[in-house]
Amino acid sequence: MIIPDQELIEKDIDAYLEQHRNKDLLRFLTCGSVDDGKSTLIGRLLYDSKMIYEDQLAAVRKDSKIHGTTGTDFDPALLTDGLKAEREQGITIDVAYRYFSTSKRKFIIADTPGHEQYTRNMATGASNCELAIILVDARHGITVQTKRHSFIVSLLGIGHVIIAINKMDLMDWSEEVYEQIRQEYNSFSARLFFKDIHFIPISALKGDNVVDKSEKMPWYKGPTLLHHLEHVNISSHKNYIDMRFPVQMVMRPDLNFRGFAGTMASGVIRPGDKVMVLPSRQTTTVATVQNWSGKLEYAFPPMPIVVTLSDEVDVSRGDMLVPVNNLPKVNSEFDAMLVWMSETPAQESSHYLIKHCCSMIPATLDKIRYEVDVNTMRKKPRDGKIELKLNSIARIKMVLHRQIAYDPFAKNHATGAFILIDRLTNATVAAGMILDKPSAEDQATKPKSNNITKVSSNVLPEERVRLLGHKPRTIWLTGLSGSGKSTIAKALEKRLIQEGMLAFILDGDNIRYGLNKDLGFSNEDRKENIRRIAEVAKLMNDAGIIVITAFISPFIKDRMAARATIGTDRFSEVYLSTPLDTCEQRDPKGLYQKARKGEITGFTGLDAPYEPPEKPEYTLDTTNSSLEESTEKLLKWLKPLIIS
């Protein structure tokens, strides 16, 4: 039998304190558009969970008569809106942190501003959070600021998201309104990198579905907000695999001791571990791991520790200790996503200081590759010279004056994040997240080695055409899963071979068993998947082969890049325009069924977008055509292109 907290406090205060010390800690933030009810929600959480002292409550009731916006003697928002300007205007300006706990878990809340001009404050508040509550006003639905905050939450690697659809009391507790907002947000968020999204209809002012279940929305069968906060699994948020120990200070209290102090960034370190010092790449062994209490058997984040080494190697502030068989990247340049936080615009070739882990290094903002339009999640059109203004979000390239050791932010938040500092004012001007892959531009134009040269063949393309009796071409089949790409590709390949032509299929699943087995299904991985396929198709076309590709390839820009790689004269885009309902009825691999059950996320056509070709060379709807008819149509169109 579990003794309630109050009873345990009365019976055994030491047992209560020990129980409290061992509770999980969840850091979360509230964000969203202006007046969506963020501060009210936190006030309601604190009030209904009995985490407000009587003198606080009395003060809030007094202030509610002067600054309250609810028309009652209790405005929950005043529990967090502590600044004078916030109470006068009824808005949140700065990040307010509040602490509370329940019998299940401890919480630190960051109440962040909704106004666009305070977006930088929101990004700051989100930087250490493991979960985000994004509030949506049921009256207004998804707004620009909702999208902006969602994008920043995604950029910062916060995978757990609650969409709290607030003010349901003003919409007569309508299930239809809830469903409409849920579908709109799911469509928008398909391009974001969230691990899980939960939708909860609430009334922060009245308390419905915040702590206690609402009787006014019997159609909602999910948990209350507090119940979800108490039970969400956040154990995967910390990285205990990749050991990274940035050295903050060299400790030399006497001639007999030389230790290296710092805070564990990720992973686990133990005496006896073989480590490498970066960026110098010297290797040694960990002799001891200790803190204020003495020597330790191991240490993990975020423990502050002192490490001693078995060899006298050169280690100084800003260096990093890592396992010899699990190294981060070491480079003086990288691509990153940047949130610009200064009133002074950023321009290419501007100079800053970069603060990364314990290093402070001169750096240059070498290139602004593109700015992101948060409404569409796409690149903004480049019109002349780009400069980043306050709250801009952009992909950039940084060049540092010396090498640093880092991981991509998606893999390791501690070693993949940085800030930029103005060299004159010492003001923080931007926060950045290092990306895993270089830009497509760099990949296409800059090989890793400078000692390679393109080699041309002694066999002319015309000689291959005479030998094979046909021209090379890439037939790029694109369409939804179940539209018939693989089936038609195999039938077309068979017909071409029967007619004496050399053809070969590059199939999506087969490619992912070999060449692209290291890629997932994120937007970046999908893009790299298509890039590699295009390079292979180009080589096969160079050999005179007719290539048939069968890939969903959902994004126009990726197919355009493939066309540019292969060559417009050899590339033909064939759009299988089979409608979604027909594809779902076929469901040859059972993927739609799994996606509908939530077993697959980011599935193209359902919760991930598909962008149909604007001007394909050929369009084929397989709904009412047999395989033989579809293949015959495609072959009839193709022959004049490959046979002179």
Token look-up 């053809």 returns 503
Query: 478 pairs with which residues across the strands?
Result: 575
Pull the structure tokens for residue 219: 């159609």
Distance CA 194, CA 385 (A): 33
| pLDDT attached to residue 514 | 86
Q: Check: pTM over 0.95? Answer yes or no.
A: no
User: Average pLDDT of 277-290?
Assistant: 93
The reply to whether CATH 3.30.1330.10 applies to domain 331-438 is no
Single out the residue of 481, 482, 488 nearest to residue 634, CA to CA.
Answer: 488
Tally the C-alpha atoms within 13 A of residue 500's C-alpha that lie toward its C-beta.
Answer: 6
Fold: same for 5-236 and 461-642: yes
| 98-112 mean pLDDT | 81
Mean of the pLDDT values across residues 452-464?
78
- CA distances for 296 relative to 21, 272, 286, 291, 304, angstroms: 20, 12, 12, 7, 12
Handedness of CA 308, 313, 315, 319 (dihedral sign): negative
Angle at 134 between CA 395 and CA 82, to 5 degrees: 105
pLDDT in tens, 56-72: 555 555 555 555 455 45
* Furthest CA-CA distance within the chain: 94
pLDDT over 60 at 2, yes or no: no
Q: How many helices (H) and strands (E) does the chain have?
A: 19, 28
* Band of residue 588 on the pLDDT scale cut at 50, 70, 90: confident
Q: What is the Cα gyration radius of the chain?
A: 29
The helix/strand/coil state of 454 is: coil
Tell me which amino acid residue 271 is. Answer: P
How far apart (Å, rounded) are the C-alpha atoms in residues 465 and 543? 10
Looking at residue 88, its pLDDT comes to: 43
Res. 502: pLDDT tops 90: yes
Question: Could you give the percent of the chain with pLDDT greater than 70?
Answer: 82
| Pairing state between β 503-507 and 546-550 | parallel
* pLDDT at residue 605 tops 60: yes
Kindly report, residue by residue over 515-548, the tens digit of the pLDDT. Answer: 888 888 777 788 888 899 999 999 999 999 999 9
pLDDT, mean over the chain = 83
Pairing mode, if any, of strands 329-340 and 393-406?
Answer: antiparallel
User: Where on the phi/psi map is residue 520: left (φ > 0), alpha (ψ -120 to 50), or beta?
Assistant: beta
pLDDT digits (tens, 9 = 90+) for 246-272: 999 999 988 889 999 999 999 999 999
HEC string for 395-423: EEEEEEEEEEEECCCCCCHHHHEEEEECC
Nearest residue to 31 (alpha-carbon basis) of 191, 145, 154, 185:
145
Which amino acid does the sequence have at 186? N
Give pLDDT, residue 103. 79
- Range picked from 26-40, 225-239, 521-535, 626-640 for highest mean pLDDT: 626-640
Confidence bin at 228 (pLDDT 50/70/90):
very high
Give the range among 97-106, 214-223, 539-548 with minimum mean pLDDT: 97-106
Angle between helices 144-155 and 175-189 in degrees, nearest 10: 50
**What kind of fold does domain 245-323 have according to CATH?**
Elongation Factor Tu (Ef-tu); domain 3 (2.40.30)
CATH number for domain 461-642, candidates 3.40.50.300, 3.30.365.10, 3.40.50.720, 2.60.40.3680: 3.40.50.300
Q: How many percent of the chain have pLDDT more than 90?
A: 39
Give me the pLDDT at residue 139, please.
92
Which one is predicted more confidently, 500 or 124?
Answer: 500
Look at residue 168 in the predicted model and tell me its pLDDT.
94
State yes or no: pLDDT of 188 exceeds 90: no
Query: Which tokens is 234 given?
Result: 């956040």
Pick from 135-144, 311-320, 556-565: least confident: 556-565
Q: Are 155 and 393 in contact (CB under 8 A)?
A: yes
Domain boundaries, the chain: 5-236, 245-323, 331-438, 461-642
Higher pLDDT, 197 or 17: 197
Cα–Cα–Cα angle for 142, 150, 139, rounded to 5 degrees: 20
Exposure of 22 by Cβ count < 10 A (0-12 exposed, 13-18 middle, 19+ buried)?
exposed
Q: What residues are paired with 286 via a beta bridge?
A: 309
Q: What is the pLDDT of residue 50?
A: 63
Is 39 in contact with 92 (CB distance < 8 Å)?
Answer: yes
Residues 6+ apart with CB under 8 A from 561: 440, 527, 530, 531, 534
Query: Does residue 83 have a pLDDT over 60?
Result: no
User: Phi/psi zone of residue 16: left (φ > 0), alpha (ψ -120 to 50 degrees), beta?
Assistant: alpha
Task: Identify the pLDDT of residue 538.
Answer: 93
DSSP 256-315: TEEEEEEE--BS-B-TT-EEEEETTTEEEEEEEEEETTEEES-B-TT-EEEEEESS----
Taking only the tens place, the pLDDT of each residue in 117-176 is 555 666 666 777 889 999 999 999 998 888 888 888 888 888 899 999 999 999 999 999
For 174-187, the pLDDT digits (tens) are 999 999 999 999 98
Name the CATH superfamily housing domain 5-236: P-loop containing nucleotide triphosphate hydrolases (3.40.50.300)
What's residue 85's pLDDT?
Answer: 39
Closest to 536 measured CA to CA, from 551, 552, 557, 556:
551
Q: What is the identity of the amino acid at 210?
A: V
d(Cα 321, Cα 275) in Å, to the nearest integer? Answer: 6
